[in-house]
Chain A
């Protein structure tokens, strides 16, 4: 079985400050890792993913995440946040191969609030 822990339920920051949203996972096999973002009253959108290769992955809007196998972490970072980044962020894990339907296991979510 696999599990995901997001260490902070809420993260308040000021605009233009850096932010890190923490995610740790537990799995006995290799995994794919994802960050999804949910803006108020909307569904989830994929922000970025790690499948293989370079352990540092980036999104088009300035977020990045680094896969650290030894620490079983996949923290999300942004060097300078904007008001529009206010949202809830979910870390998720999936095991590649095996069953074909690729069930995702989600963390509890982190609410990022950016203040002016």
Chain B
């Protein structure tokens, strides 16, 4: 069972470079999410997608863009990376609505921006 798969697992960028973090889920979930995790701050929501074709900003969207490519895939793009974007990024997915809306997480992408 793959669940939520994130690529790459690790990445080092120079300031100003761009990159796309990939996320795919095989659980037929409608909703997908991108979080960043920083020490002492828990997880903060960057963007989410309630369903295919829709995306909305979360708590910390500045400097990021997303694409819900299809029901399975939700990518996060950094157009011009900054050191403040050094973090661990998690993708999650869930069914939409109701008590069954439990989020399942990928293993994370560890990003360093120099």
Interface residues of A (CB under 8 A from B): 4, 6, 9, 32, 34, 36, 41-46, 49, 51-52, 90, 94, 96, 99-104, 106-109
B62 within 8 A of A: no
Known contacts A108-B42, A109-B40: A100-B105 contact under CB 8 Å: no
Report which of A32, A102, A106 forms a contact with B94, defined as CB distance below 8 A.
A102
Asked whether, in the complex, the Cβ of B108 is within 8 Å of the Cβ of A43, the reply is yes
Listed in ascending order, the chain B residues whose CB lies under 8 Å from chain A are 4, 31, 33, 40-45, 48-50, 56, 58, 90, 92, 94, 96-97, 99, 101-108
Question: Which of A6, A90, A102 has its CB near the most chain B CB atoms (within 10 A)?
Answer: A102
Contact between A100 and B96, CB atoms less than 8 A apart: yes
Known: A101-B50, A104-B103. A109 touches B97 (CB 8 A): no
Q: A44-B90, A90-B43, A108-B42 are in contact. Are A101 and B106 (CB under 8 A)?
A: no
Docked Cα-Cα span, A52 to B99, in Å, equals 9
B contact residues around A4 at 8 Å (CB): 42
Given contacts A44-B92, A90-B42, 17 further A-B contacts (CB under 8 A): A6-B42, A9-B40, A43-B90, A43-B106, A45-B105, A52-B99, A90-B43, A100-B31, A101-B49, A101-B96, A101-B101, A102-B94, A102-B101, A103-B45, A104-B103, A107-B42, A109-B40
Q: How far is the CB of A92 from chain B (nearest CB, A)?
A: 8
Q: Is the interface of A mostly helix, strand, loop or mixed?
A: loop
Sample (8) of A-B pairs whose CB atoms are under 8 Å apart? A9-B40, A43-B4, A44-B43, A46-B102, A102-B103, A108-B40, A108-B41, A109-B42
Q: How far is the CB of A44 from chain B (nearest CB, A)?
A: 4
Distance (Å) between the CB of A20 and the closest chain B CB?
Answer: 19
Report which of B4, B31, B44, B56 forms a contact with A102, defined as CB distance below 8 A: B31
Expressed in whole angstroms, the Cα–Cα distance for A49 and B99 within the complex equals 10
Which A residues touch B33, using CB under 8 A?
A: 103
Cβ A101 vs Cβ B48 within 8 A: yes
> What's the nearest-Cβ distance from chain A to residue B107, in Å?
5
